[in-house]
Each structure stands twice: as structure tokens, then as C-alpha cells.
Structure 1
Amino acid sequence: MGHNPLRPQLKKFRRLLFISPFISVFFLILLLWTYRPFRTAQSLTQYHQATSEIPVQLKVTPPGQIAPQGQRLSLVAVTGTKTVLVAAYQEHRTEKKEVRVIAVVLRSEKIAYRCILRCQEQLRNSSGVSDIHGDHFGFAYGTANIMCPLPSDCETPSHIAVTSAAAFSEDTFTSNTFLEVKNRKAQSDSFPYNFTVCLSTMFDFTNVLQLVQTLEMLQLLGVNRVVVYKTSSSPETQRILDYYTNKGLVEVIPWSLSRFLNVSRGWLPEHGPGDIHYLGQIPALSDCIYRYMYQSRYVALHDMDELILPQSVNSWSELLPLLENKYGADKCYMFENNVFPITVTLRPPTYQPLPPQGCCPRWHNVSGINILAHLYHEPIISETHYSNFKIIVNPRAVFIPTVHGLRGSQKGCSWVDRTIARMYHTRAPRQTQLTPDKLIYDGRLLSYSARLTPNVNTVFTESFKTQEILCFENCFAPPAE
């Protein structure tokens, strides 16, 4: 029998097969000993004092839920309750140090919360106190702040989990998802952004043209960050969002509340069945305010079909010193709502010279509304004068935002004179009984058209890589004789 060069390797392999079961059993016993059950919060603390290991894997979101552009979903259901956590932010403005967890709660459910805080490889816990926002519009669910006090030896926690006090046990604790605590450091100046706009909430969105026009107008006004809370949209809309995300203007926050609740598309239960008001708009706005509290000097809360336009200057950068001088600095400024119905397209009352790039283009084959074609607004009446307004605010002065203004602190807000600035709302008519002759012409938007039109063209050309969708019409040329 000849010499087999593989015989030594075969002998080693047989020995390995013989001893490997013993090695496996040894490591299994070691693992079980290390991962002993935790029965109380005190045993958790004792465990961390004895070993540097962390008994749970901290994660910001469940696996497999990584959203486009690297944004992470943060919505977390609290086991054994109807509560959904949105995000966690350290609060620096209250007397006692605490973490504010923005949540969506079933208002009829009475829960005692327990907060688990991670602080330098140790876990601490405290009792959470829930404060439900008053603006729930009669829906079963509403927005809440769960306030978690910080122990004296854990003043800057990195992560937090919230559970019900009744379910504070081994199984519930080890399966909880921890949220990252943001805003751990307060900032008072030198913000990365001067103006941030929070747009909520985008659902089955197809209005591509108005979206592009609005984003370009916001840039002309001096906005350098736009935050979009998005549930769903058309492929064309997503392409536009990707374009602006790559440019650094837009941050898309995937808004997945519909995975947990039956969200309503109406602002009252009778306008749309569901668990919570208008797709969960208020918790999204609350998150945006706190997300940019120490990143932006000012934050504007308004919708995609709204624009706050100054009347004597051309940008928000020029407008804010006027407002601060007249109404006071670091405040909330409220802007009158003017509805420009999309059902009416009329020429200006008198001929206006065309700007160099043309002032009234038509973008064929682009879905959506052309704001330059709707220049007549409904009259301001007493029933609507102080409704549906929107705001620009110093976010560090905000505790509870709502759809229109701030909850519980309207005395800190000032109405802006319409001759200084007002809001242009291009939408379906609100005063449906009006005939076109009752509308009021306002051509302020046209003063931006010479810059707006080529910018919009560039976006479509670069994002869709084609010129075919562009077609121009001289809307405001003098009539033929």
C-alpha cells in the first residue's frame, strides 16, 4: 500500500470531530451562565456593575427597515400597549433634566410608563409621565410627550426604551427597541441652517409640478433645508425627492405610522374614518421641530401648496429682521392665509411686460398644479381671517406645536401685517360659492418668475434627462389687435 500524503491531515480531522461536541457543550454552558435572566431593575444595575457587557442589543429600528437616503425608521410599538414611539430628544429647557419621547397614544388607555435609559454602558430606569396634546380633533389616538426624568448619575443618556410599568419584565425588556436620544447638546448660535421648512405628510403624492415650483421658490426665499415626512408617492415624485436629496436641500423622513394605525386622510372623523388626524400630521410636525431645534435658526411649519411671501423685500433673510424689529426677536410669527383657487385661471387685469425667461410657462406632461397660472385669491372674510394660518418660529421657543400655530403659547406669537408678508395658498377653493369676478388679483408671484422658471426647467431636465416635457406659452403677451 503506497504512502498517502493526506493521512496526517485525516488523523487531525478525526480528532477534531471527536472533541468538537465537548467544545460546543462547553460554550453553550458558558453562554447560558453569562445570559442569566434579569428579574428587576436592581438586578440590571448589579449586572452592569459586575460586567461590562450589555444584556440587550441596542438598535434604533427593527432589522430590515432601512429607508431610502440612509434615513432610519424610528417608530416603535410599545409591547402590551397601544402606544407607538416616534423619537426621543433630550430636554434642556425644563427645570429638571429629562428626555422627551414623542409618541402616539390611544387617549382612552391609561398607562403607567417605565423608561429604561442607557448611560455609559449602564442601564438606569425612571417613571415616565405622559402628557397628551389637546389637538386630537376627536380621533381615538393623539400625540403625546412621555417625559422621562434623568437620574443624577445618567444626565446624558445615549438611548432610551419605554415600556409599561406592568410589563416591566424579562421578556418585555429584552425585546424592546431602543431609540437614540437626540439633542444631547444644546446649541445657541452658529446653526447649520438658517431656515428649515417642515412639510407633512406626503401620502400617495403626484403633484410633481407644484412640488418642484415650491422647492425652487423656497430656495429663492432663502430656505436651505426642507424636511418631507413621506408615506407614499408616485415614481415621478420619488425621482424629484431623490434629486433634491442628492443636492442636499431635502431630507426625506419615511413616515410609516400607517403600519401601526388606520390613519385618516381627513382632519375630522366625519371627513375621513381612521384612528388619528390627517395621516399623523401633528406627531410628524412635533418630530420636525425637535429634530431641527439645535440645527436651524428658524423653522417654518406649512404645507407643500403654501408659500409665505414678503411684500417689500424678496427673501426671508431680509424679512426676519423686519419682523424681529416690529414684533420682537426669537418669537413665533403667524401669516395670514390667502387662498388662490386652482379652479380659476385668469389673465392679469392689465398687460405686464414679460420677464426675459417668460412668466407663464406650461409644462406639458408634468402632473400637478402650475402656481404661476393662479393669481387670483379669495377675499378675506371674518369667518376665515384667523384660520388655517402658518408660522415661522424659533424652534427653541416651542414646546408643543400643532397644525396652526403653537399649543398653549399663542401669546408668544404675533400676527404679521399682510402688507409686510402673507401666505399664498394655491389649492381647491374654500369659498366655493364665489364667482371669478369676486376674486382679487395678486401678482406678487410673478416678480419671482424670471428666476423661478429657468430653475424649474433645470430640475426637470436634470432629473428626467429630457427636454421633451417642456413647452412654453406666452400667457401674458398683449392681446392681438
Structure 2
Amino acid sequence: MDMHALGRTEPVSTKQFAFLRTFFILFILFLFLWFVYWITGDKRNNKYKLNVIYPHWKKKQPHLMACGVQVQNDPIIKINNLKTYMVGSYIEHRNQVKMIRTIAIVLRSEKAEYQCVLCCNGEKISVPAAYDIHSDHFGFEYGTADITCQIPGKCPTPTHVAITSRSPKEDGSLQDIHAFQPIRNQQKQEVFPYEFTVCISTMFDYVNILMLVQAMEMFKILGVQKVAIYKTSCHPVTQKVLDYYVKQNFVEIIPWRISSYINVSRGWKKSASPGELHYFGQIAALNDCVYRYMYQSHYVSLQDLDEFILPINLKNWAELLPELERKYNHNVGFEFETFFFPLSITDFHSEYSLDSWKKVMGVNILEHVSCLSNDPKEFNDFKVIVNPRLVFKTTVHGFLESVGGSVRVDSKIAHIYHMRNISKQALSTHSHIQDTHHRDYADRLIPAVSHVLQQTLGIDT
């Protein structure tokens, strides 16, 4: 073999090696950049999804601390080694002994012993706690409960509370505290920033955008100043509408993550809608809303977005409630009977069926004027408007414990217009009545709704 010839081929091999090395480095760099893009892109997508579910995550919240422990303002807080979840904590001013009441969701079969850990002037103070499970659990494994503890003399103004198991750990030390919850209602108020607040207990997978806007604007017409919505999830367009009302300071969104911890039911009847907790924890949310607005609002209305409590011969709630208190009593809640308007029966009229609204997902309440009659001999659904300071325990329909109970308002004075899907059996067994009273609000409702749709979704009328 010619050694000179062999020497001439050596530079060629070096070039090939350099090319392969460069190619390999570029290939690895490409894979790395692609991986980084995939990871960050997935995070962006997840962030968008989370914003739809929990809009307060849009901006990173600062880590607030109390007594060296992180503070969590929103529900839900799991209690260390127990199947118990804190919802909201409040000073109870109405008992002879001042105490802290925490609305909670508990596993009813778990025989737990609790203690409250209070943050008081930078010091942690432990006191025993008692609990009471509400009776309206509808047979589900979990139910709403009140966990209460007395405020000790050495800590007259606790700012935060954590609840732990009273049972010590194996080494004898107390159970760890993962998060403190702020204690609300520190001061008993006599003057309130809001006259009427509406509590919407559960919003999940919500897509009824047109009715949402109609409900918000109808609430305004009726005199409502605040709407509290306990929200799990909704459509992205729904979130745009909610953001609009949040910026107006008309809506407060309370993130409701209980479905991340408990297998929730989507209905009230366990046999028909399996799960461990009744209807997304609706009852716990309602109780929390009553206490959250106890010293912020003169009245609260506990209802859904497809329900409209309308006075028959008066203009709004500001005129209605004083009339009810004169007729019935000041110290009671007011029950408004539900009348159902089937969504399957429509009455199209160009004055109320705007073409521009047809571009929006959801129900137009002005197109439904056929009402099912109620049998006065049977139980008919209702919802309540009440002075929240009269209520200790509430449920979906009425109260479990309150100062004066509740009275049924004569339906000729006011009642609920409930727009919903109705079974064929109910349609065939009830007579139908035409009721167009909600159209009396159309002159104010239509331009208000159209304005919001234009501002939020860019839909011109």
C-alpha cells in the first residue's frame, strides 16, 4: 500500500468527523430547543385553562404569612391527616360567648376531634374545638359542618385560624399547620355597603352566556349591588363576561376547588347522580356566602342564575322588601315560590328576539313566556331573600337554623321565574299559563344586555 496515498486521505477523514460532530451538536441543540418550546407551550396552555377555572390565578398572588405560616384566603384548605376541609372562618358575634365559626366539609363517618390554632399578635395559641354536622347531607358521605372554638381571654382579637386534629403525632408533637385562614367579620356592623347581594352557590362547566348577561343586568335593574359566584369552571367566553363584571366591582368570584379533593355529585339525589358530596358542595357554599356577607349586605338572596325573583306590582327589590317586612315580619326570611318556564316552549317575537343575540350561546329569557301551573296542595320549590344576621344554618330551600324562620310570600306579590328544561311528564301533567311579566323589564334590559355583549364580545346590535 502506498503510504503517501494513505496520508493524503487523512485530511478527508478529519473533515468528515468535523461535519458529523457539528451535525450531531446541531441536532442535539434542535432537540433541546424543541423540548423547551414544548414544555413552555404546554405551560401556557395549562395557564389558560386554569385561568378559565380559577381567574384569580392570572396574577401571581404574594405569599402572605401569619405567625410564620402561609395564609390562604380562598377555600378549600384540607386539614392535615383528616378528611376535613375548611371553607371559611368567621367571628360569631351573636352568641353570649364570642367564638370563631368555621364552615367546613367533613367525612361524616370520621370520628374526628379538632382543635383551633389561633394566630394572635405573632403567637400561636391552641384551643379545643367542637363540631356540628348539618342534617341536609342528602345521604352523601360528606356533609357541611360548623367547627367552632371559643376565643380565649389571652387572645381577644385573633386574625387567623388553622384547624388540626387534636390527636398528637407519634412523637407526641402537635399536628403540622400547612395554612392559616383569615378570620372574617372581625367587627359587628350596623351599616352595610350593599343593600342586596345575590349568592350563586355553584358554577361548573357554565356555557349559558346570554342568560348570564341577562341575569346580571336584571339583578342591577332589581337593585342588586353585588353578586357572589362560587365557581369551579366555565367556558372561556363566559370568563370574559365574568371578568367584565369583576372589573365593575359588581361580581366577586370565589374559587371553588372542592372537586379537586372529593368526588362530587352533579345532582342532589345520590341514586341518580353518584358521588361523595351533594351537588358540588352547594350547601357549604351557601352557608359560606351568608357569613361572608353577613356584615356587608342588608339582605342576601340565595338563588341560581336561571331564577328571577320578580315583584308583580312593584318595580324592584328596594320597594319589595320593606313591603314584605310590613306585611309579614322584620325577623324572618322570605320564601319566593318557583314557577317553571320550559325552555322547550318558545315565543319568538322580533322585539324580544334580537338577531345579534342569536350569535351568543345561551338562552334568551324573553322568548319563554309559557309557565307551568303549581298545585297549591303540593310542595312547590322556593328560594329565599333574608337578612343574613338572622341565619345560623342555611340549606338550598330555607333554613336549618335561624332567628325567626321563614314565611311564604304570596305569589301575587312576587315569585320566581325559573327558566329550565322540563321533563315531558311534567309538561303533560301541568296546565300552561302565559306569563309575560318579565317582558315588562325589556325596555331597560335589552339595551343593557346589548351594551355588555358589545363591550365583552364585540357583538354589534
TM-score by length of 2: 0.82
1:149 and 1:102 map into 2 onto residues whose CA distance is: 15
Give the aligned partner of residue 57 of structure 1.
68
Q: What letter corresponds to residue 255 of structure 1 in structure 2?
A: W
2:66 and 2:231 map into 1 onto residues whose CA distance is: 35
CA apart distance, 1:331: 2.4
Give the aligned partner of residue 368 of structure 2.
374
CA apart distance, 1:59: 2.3
Q: Does 1:176 align with 2:170?
A: no
Mean alpha-carbon deviation: is it higher for 454-463 or for 411-420?
Answer: 411-420
The size of the alignment, in residue pairs, is 395
Give the aligned partner of residue 187 of structure 2.
185
Q: 1:218 to 1:55 in 2, by over 3 A?
A: closer
Q: 1:387 to 1:125 in 2, by over 3 A?
A: farther
Give the aligned partner of residue 331 of structure 1.
332
Give the aligned partner of residue 415 of structure 2.
422
Q: What aligned pairs does 1:79-478 form with structure 2 within 5 A after superposition?
A: 79-167=80-168, 173-188=175-190, 190-346=191-347, 358-362=351-355, 363-382=357-376, 384=378, 386-409=379-402, 412-429=405-422, 432-435=425-428, 438-467=431-460, 470=461
Q: 1:436 to 1:82 in 2, by over 3 A?
A: closer
Q: 1:425 to 1:161 in 2, by over 3 A?
A: same
Q: In 2, are the aligned partners of 1:80 and 1:167 still within 8 Å (CA)?
A: no
Task: Give the secondary-structure state (helix, strand or coil) at the position aligned to 1:457.
Answer: helix
Q: In 2, are the aligned partners of 1:158 and 1:180 still within 8 Å (CA)?
A: yes
CA apart distance, 1:382: 4.2
Q: 1:393 to 1:431 in 2, by over 3 A?
A: farther
Mean alpha-carbon deviation: is it higher for 293-302 or for 115-124?
Answer: 115-124
Q: In 2, are the aligned partners of 1:97 and 1:155 still within 8 Å (CA)?
A: no
1:304 and 1:397 map into 2 onto residues whose CA distance is: 24
Q: In 1, are the aligned partners of 2:164 and 2:177 still within 8 Å (CA)?
A: no
Q: 1:446 to 1:293 in 2, by over 3 A?
A: same
CA apart distance, 1:96: 1.1
Q: In 2, are the aligned partners of 1:56 and 1:174 still within 8 Å (CA)?
A: no
Mean alpha-carbon deviation: is it higher for 374-383 or for 238-247?
Answer: 374-383
2:360 and 2:377 map into 1 onto residues whose CA distance is: 36
2:84 and 2:163 map into 1 onto residues whose CA distance is: 10
Q: In 2, are the aligned partners of 1:359 and 1:450 still within 8 Å (CA)?
A: no
1:374 and 1:431 map into 2 onto residues whose CA distance is: 17
TM-score by length of 1: 0.79
2:448 and 2:223 map into 1 onto residues whose CA distance is: 15
Q: In 1, are the aligned partners of 2:373 and 2:430 still within 8 Å (CA)?
A: no
2:149 and 2:162 map into 1 onto residues whose CA distance is: 10
Q: 1:408 to 1:74 in 2, by over 3 A?
A: closer
Q: In 1, are the aligned partners of 2:195 and 2:224 still within 8 Å (CA)?
A: yes
Structure 2 residues not aligned, in runs of 5+: 1-64
Give the aligned partner of residue 41 of structure 1.
none
Q: 1:304 to 1:250 in 2, by over 3 A?
A: same
Q: In 2, are the aligned partners of 1:60 and 1:74 still within 8 Å (CA)?
A: no
2:184 and 2:92 map into 1 onto residues whose CA distance is: 10
Structure 1 residues not aligned, in runs of 5+: 1-53, 62-71, 349-353, 471-481
1:258 and 1:78 map into 2 onto residues whose CA distance is: 16
Give the aligned partner of residue 29 of structure 1.
none
CA apart distance, 1:174: 4.0
CA apart distance, 1:414: 1.1
- Structure number with the higher strand fraction is 2
Task: Give the secondary-structure state (helix, strand or coil) at the position aligned to 2:103.
Answer: strand
After superposition, the CA RMSD in angstroms is: 2.1
Q: In 1, are the aligned partners of 2:66 and 2:160 still within 8 Å (CA)?
A: no
CA apart distance, 1:177: 1.1
Q: What letter corresponds to residue 94 of structure 2 in structure 1?
A: R
